[in-house]
Structure 1
Amino acid sequence: MPKGAPPSSPGRPVRVALFSGNYNYVKDGANQALNRLVGRMLARGDVIPRVYSPVSATPAFPPTGDLVPVPSFPIPGRSEYRVGIGITPAVARDLAAFRPDLVLLSAPDLLGHAAKRWARARALPVVASVHTRFETYGDYYRLGWLRGWAETMLRRFYCDLAEIYVPTEGMAEVLRAQGVSERVQIWSRGVDHALFHPGRRDLTWRRTLGIADEDFTIGFVGRLVLEKGLDMVAAVSEALSARGVGHRVLVVGDGPARAFLAGRLPDAVFTGFLAGEALARAHASADLFLNPSVTETFGNVTLEAMACGVPVVAADVVGSNALVGDGVTGRLVPPRDVVAFASAIAAYAADPGLRRAHGAAGLARARLFDWDRVNDAMIDRLLRLCGRTAGGAGGTEASVAVGGVQIPAAAR
């Protein structure tokens, strides 16, 4: 029995303490997925979530659910991000009052390590969701020599958890191959089809940005940070220009590397950060979506572009290759191969019919991704880990000991 908490009983919802390094102070794909998950928990009612995360005086968006601020400090050189210092006495008191049945971690940071230790001391099951490939980040900041150390740290953090959740089978295979864990499960992603759809395309809006109706427009959406592959966006555009392929680059997002990209692409159109209908309009108003990133585990922006009927050219890595059908909904090319990226994009620039066909196929595939369905599957796994079945009934499944906690056999 967890110390300080009564056993999870059929008469009350399961309580989940979620620890996030960034729940809402900077918008990204990871915290959008976490907020969606919390919203679904609240809608169902059989799970009560409580979120612990660093906060900001100027958050990017309102948090979903109850958010408990964790003391933090800004990351040197990247002050828009913050690091939680751990579980302070005030946070510990809040956790004791909440009495969680399960702890969900979303980042292997200081806060995540502290939360793991706190849960272990109380014999609570600990699970984690994996949202990005942190071990690759050093490659973009001349710290590639840290990669081996980072992979070792990630293995130590994840190896003894009850379960790990990743958005694609490809990412699951990466973690298994790295020796991180065999207890890897899929928590996929969805897209809001009422928001993202081809009807958002707006040539009038493009004209206000100086983009003519006939201009072949390449869209890029994301945080303007080097690890998103901004150097590749610039290099590919330069290669297209060298080939005489007319195009415009539409950059949606903001971040510390904006000046870098603007310096490389002085003719690009920068919209800054967009959200909601404005973001959907930007996606749908592009003729092609470019995603050269190799750091994401899924690529929410890729799925949003597909839902808008836009073909995608992306690096052939885990995440993108789970979404893009090469030669069907877009093209997958070798990572960081400027020539291959430029050739694939040039083919679309020359053939509007190909763009329409692959955009329509992408839209059809995007319709398979539904937020409620994938989040329900995730919540049901958490319930089983706490000895419940979906809908809040008491669980009767046999359990086995894995990683020091009791895990229902059907949930392994």
Structure 2
Amino acid sequence: MKLALITDAWHPQVNGVVTTLHELVQALGPLGVDVSVLHPGLFKNRSCPGYAGIDLAVRPYKALAAMLDALQPDAVHIATEGPLGWAARKHCLKKGWKFTTAFHTKFPEILKAALRVPLFLGYGLFRHFHRPSSGVMVPTQGVLNMLQSRGFKSLKPWTHGVDLDLFEHRAVPLEIPELQGRDRPYALFVGRVSYEKNIDAFLDLQLQGTRIVCGVGPLEAQLKARYPDVVWMGVLPRQQLADVYAAADVFVFPSRNETFGLVMLEAMACGTPVAAFPVDGPLQVLGDGDGEATGGVLSEDLSAAFQQCLQVPRSEARQRAEAFGWPRTVEMFKSNLVSVGGDAHPRA
């Protein structure tokens, strides 16, 4: 099967969407799926205003249309709602091709936080984007229910996986040179330092020990100035990041607007329990959706959750992560694809 995967999020960007798509492409190959990734690096691009490190294609329609016509894919998946996503959507509609899409990120909440765009306008735009999709892949049941309540159609359950070999389980927290001499316990945040991550809820916590941030983003400079006692590690290579996860005593996930939260799985795979709010994303990743957590603690009081996480066995966190291995994730994705001609399952 020839699959055209169109995404505005790809290397060298560093985020959960890129990680998920990269791992997905790697896993689809052995299943007989030949994936062509059409990403911003193939087009004239420029940095997204206010988001250094995120490049967007500039007026990509003509070039993208030519690429898709030359490729003649059996299936098309549009992973993001950026310039490439809109261009691919337009061309598929013009050609009469069926396609699938994904809802990876709550961009309406980002637009509200960054630009004060009302949620109903943001979700109206995204509902329009996804309306012609033959299958909108959604990573959690909570997000699926939310989108359904906002009038989205053709929603398909999906999930995400974690590399259980790279993120190796450590029965006791790892000691690493970068944190030598720092007081324990280590509280870790990994993610973009940006509006939607609610990172202030982590930085404002009055915790014993050391707070660590791995990531960059538009709020980085001002937050570094406000919180000089925090260890700011920036963007790390994946192996080094795995060591930092393994070194942490607790991973703190302060976001309230995630569709999933892959970093929680990466932390738990290393044995590091997660403290998070009981909202979509953490509810599904950590527990049963009803507030009961495994591998971490869910609470509206993040300080209390952090303290309770210090008593969570690291083996329990690892066991929870093992429920999200890649084979199931890839099979779900593949089964959700449709052929450009409209068949439920593209030819192998």
User: Structure 1-normalised TM-score?
Assistant: 0.77
Q: Which residue of 2 is the match for residue 192 of structure 1?
A: 163
Alpha-carbon distance in 1 for matches of 2:17, 2:186: 27
Larger gyration radius, structure 1 or structure 2: 1
* Residue 122 in structure 1 maps to residue 95 in structure 2: yes
CA displacement 1:251-279 (0-9 Å, x = unmatched): 11223322222223211112221132211
Q: Distance in 1 between matches of 2:264 and 2:162?
A: 10
Aligned residue for 1:180?
A: 152
What do residues 356-401 of structure 1 show as CA deviations (whole Å, max 9, x unaligned)?
3xx3222111111111321122113326786375882xxxxxxxxx
Letter of the 2:305 partner, please give it: A
* Unaligned stretches of 5+ residues in structure 1: 1-12, 56-68, 335-339, 393-412
Alignment correspondent of 1:396: none
Candidates 329, 335, 343, aligned match of 1:387: 343
SS in 1 for 2:228: coil
Equivalent position SS for 1:198: coil
Trace 1:20-99 onto structure 2 (pairs within 5 A): 20-45=7-32, 47-55=33-41, 69-99=42-72
What residue is the counterpart of 1:253 in the other structure?
A: 215
Deviation for aligned residue 1:177: 0.9
Structure 2 Cα separation of the partners of residues 314 and 377 of structure 1: 27
Q: Which amino acid aligns with 1:382?
A: L
**Pairing 1:367–2:322 present:** yes
Secondary structure of the corresponding residue to residue 197 of structure 1:
coil
Counterpart-to-counterpart distance in 2, 1:123 and 1:229: 41
- If asked which structure has higher relative contact order (CA below 8 Å, sep 6+), I would say 2
Q: What does the per-residue CA deviation read over 1:229-286, in whole Å, with 9 as the maximum and x for residues that have no partner?
A: 12211222xxx2xxxx522101112233222222232111122211322111101111
Distance 1:259 1:346 in 2: 29
Residues 390 and 150 of structure 1: CA distance in aligned 2, closer, same or farther (over 3 Å):
closer
Measured in 1, the distance between the counterparts of 2:163 and 2:104 equals 19
Partner of 2:198: 229
CA RMSD after TM alignment: 2.2
Paired residue for 1:107?
Answer: 80
**1:178, distance to aligned residue in structure 2 (A):** 1.0
For the residues of structure 2 that align with 1:148 and 1:390, how far apart are their CA atoms?
A: 35
- Closer/same/farther in 2, CA of residues 138 and 122 from structure 1, 3 Å limit: closer
Please say if 1:169 is aligned against 2:141. yes
1:294-334 deviation per Cα after TM superposition (whole angstroms, max 9, x unaligned): 23211110011111111111122211110113454222234
What is the TM-score with the length of structure 2 in the denominator?
0.90
Provide the secondary structure at the position in 2 that maps to 1:192. Answer: coil
Aligned length: 342
Q: 2-side partners of 1:202 and 1:341: how far apart?
A: 24
Sequence identity percentage? 28
Give the secondary structure class of the aligned counterpart of 1:296. Answer: coil
